[in-house]
Structure 1
Amino acid sequence: MTQIDQAVEIREGEELDVAAVDRFMKQAVPGLEGEPGIRQYPGGASNLTYQVDYGNQSYVLRRPPFGKIAKSAHDMLREARVMEALKPAYPYVPNIVAICDDHSILGCDFYVMERLKGIILRQDFPQDFNLSADDTRKLCLNVIDKLVDLHTVDAKGAGLDKLGKGAGYVQRQIGGWSDRFRKARTEDVGDFEAVMAWLNDKMPEDVAQVVIHNDYRFDNVVLNPDNPFEVIGVLDWEMATIGDPLMDLGNSLAYWIEADDEGPFQMLRRQPTHRPGMLTRREVVDYYMEKSGFRADNFDFYEIYGLFRLAVIIQQIYYRFYHGQTKDKRFAAFGHAANYLEQRCQRLIRESSL
């Protein structure tokens, strides 16, 4: 059996107040005994995720990053409430155990959820995760299927129809992400103005209004350790909303790096989409459209949007590092990554028939 995903030692500067966590947990979950063991999950560059253990009982705590953050970002209360509403209609959402808006405990909003014990595929397959190309393809299709399933959820039936702002989602995203980039730009990173102008000029109408995840990747999917083809959980619902499903797919493809992609793009790879048997980006789009029924004559806009949005996310994190608001050395090269993504967007724009 492949090793279950585990938390590791907490990064410097991101420690939690163990006594405060203990008091909160014992109030939220009657019967807990002893002192909690707290470790941190290494993945993710945004919200912080910790494993809280009481003997053989294990929970996951999610909180925003330390330091100054954007006013509307890292809304833990919203994320937890979206998960609670979506759970009955989409069973892959972890159960929420407790929600906290009392800043006297950890200095921020946070929530606690069940820990799904399973395999999470990060940058590479685990050493003992031996899948043939055919089996890798089967796994890949199963993961894409769960995105299709999400996009067919009855939002109104789940009580989530008011989560979004209605028609005009594509337009709001281009305007919103452009504004965020301009506010987060540092002097060592390009201005993306040509990319933003192209996206603004080529915006299509919304294809549909459905529940979207907005960060759907392999490392946000939990696999059954006894049957790694089976998805048992989908994590990280911070950016979930009602919006355009093809924009959601474009976001996912920004992380979908193939074995023959150029070196700088390979350096950004965070999931094992380079493995033999994985679908190409083009195959992902074709398969998704066939299964979902959603259509676009040309996917270039959505692909370039996804890359631009990823660049903004990277730049927002880099801004915090650049200004000394975080000391996490993982973020030191994020400015170079943003510059590369600008070049990639510009090349795709030149090659596009739109």
Structure 2
Amino acid sequence: MALTDQSTRIREGEELDAQVIDHYLKGHIPGLAGEPRVSQFPGGASNLTYLLEYPDQEFVLRRPPFGHKAKSAHDMGREYRILNQLRERFPYCPKAYVHCTDPAVIGAEFYVMERVNGIILRADLPAELNLDAERTGALCRSFIDKLVDLHNVDYQACGLGDLGKPEGYVQRQISGWSDRYEKALTPDAPAWEAVRSWLNDKLPADHPKSSIVHNDYRFDNVILDPHNPMQIIGVLDWELTTLGDPLMDLGNTLAYWIEADDPAPVQLMRRQPSNAPGMLSRREFVDYYAERSGIRIDNFDFYYTYGLFRLAGIVQQIYYRFYHGQTQDKRFAQFVHMNKLLEQMSLQVISKSTL
């Protein structure tokens, strides 16, 4: 089994014209020679990601999904800019080469970046890595360290001070995701009324330290060195990145963090090996983050519940496209059930919360 992330055949309806792409890139990347082989990375449920293999160089092309897209989502220029301006102070960003704003080329904006060839962990740790509990724990802490490093980046020094508005970030996220959720609602989806009301009632103030917020920091957006899997060499998927409260980013990450003793239905949602022996629990994750960042975290329940609601909003936006026939990707048919489960998880957190 190949440990490095593999591309596959392009899904029906998501094809690219290799000749058109080749002509465009040769006009923008000096020294490019040969013809590209185009394939698609099967992971991900938002932007589409393709591998362009030239004889001597490999690139990754990112474009928005087909069908209905939420307003302001899938901004290729924003992601391209973040990669290039953040890379000097956070060297885990892949190098971006070109951003195409002309939809006539492939039917949408897109950008092309270097391919960082490495291991991306999916649902389970590959046995070939031979990671015992001690090494798995060290990898988990390294994963958290990179999030802390990102939150400590001086975004003004990167020229990214206009990327977002940190003031009022917490309130805007709660109201904004509530609005986006309502717009993506389908008749078979839950309303989330009790959770949304609780989040509004328990709103904390913005943390005084604002930071770059990745908004999608998970193990399957992290690349490991194929020669030393304990070493993180890349972080992907910067499309949702903004400026705001770092604890809200922590809540986003913990929404994906499924522990070994979580109930069986929750285990079905797991997309990263957070249940492996040696991985930190959610509580340990929060405590380690607090220790490394120097940030005191008193209201973990709020940030975790927010993360679950936001994840449900993302899931529902994707399911909306499937429900209305705007994508044929059969993976999305079950997303409404994931949404319902996320609501139940949120209600359980709230029922035990002391906030």
How many Å separate the matches in 2 of 1:63 and 1:330?
Answer: 19
How many Å separate the matches in 2 of 1:304 and 1:213?
Answer: 18
- 2:42 counterpart of 1:70: no
Give the CA deviation at 1:92: 0.6
How many Å separate the matches in 2 of 1:342 and 1:304?
Answer: 9
Deviations 1:198-257 (A, max 9, x none): 101101011121111110000110111111111111110001111101100100001101
Deviates more, 1:278-287 or 1:293-302: 293-302
Deviates more, 1:285-294 or 1:63-72: 63-72
AA at the equivalent of 1:175: S
DSSP 3-state at the match of 2:104: helix
Tell me the equivalent position of 2:199.
199
- 2:178 counterpart of 1:164: no
AA at the equivalent of 1:194: A
Deviations 1:22-71 (A, max 9, x none): 11121122222232101111110000011101113100000000112112
Tell me the equivalent position of 1:118.
118
Give the CA deviation at 1:126: 2.5
How many Å separate the matches in 2 of 1:56 and 1:128?
Answer: 28
How many Å separate the matches in 2 of 1:129 and 1:245?
Answer: 32
How many Å separate the matches in 2 of 1:243 and 1:34?
Answer: 44
The equivalences for 1:175-190 within 5 A come to 175-190=175-190
The equivalences for 1:1-354 within 5 A come to 3-207=3-207, 208-354=209-355
How many Å separate the matches in 1 of 2:54 and 2:287?
Answer: 46
DSSP 3-state at the match of 2:65: coil
How many Å separate the matches in 2 of 1:45 and 1:56?
Answer: 30
How many Å separate the matches in 1 of 2:297 and 2:128?
Answer: 39
Percent sequence identity over aligned pairs: 61
1:3 and 1:119 in contact (8 A); partners too: yes
Give the CA deviation at 1:127: 3.9
TM-score (norm 1): 0.98
1:50 and 1:61 in contact (8 A); partners too: yes
How many Å separate the matches in 1 of 2:343 and 2:166?
Answer: 30
How many Å separate the matches in 1 of 2:170 and 2:220?
Answer: 26
Structure 1 stretches of 4+ with a deviation exceeding 3 A read: none
How many Å separate the matches in 2 of 1:2 and 1:259?
Answer: 26
1:133 and 1:277 in contact (8 A); partners too: yes
1:2 and 1:128 in contact (8 A); partners too: no
- For structure 2, the 5+ residue unaligned runs are none
Give the CA deviation at 1:2: 6.7
DSSP 3-state at the match of 1:222: strand
Count of residue pairs the alignment pairs up: 354
Deviates more, 1:302-311 or 1:4-13: 4-13
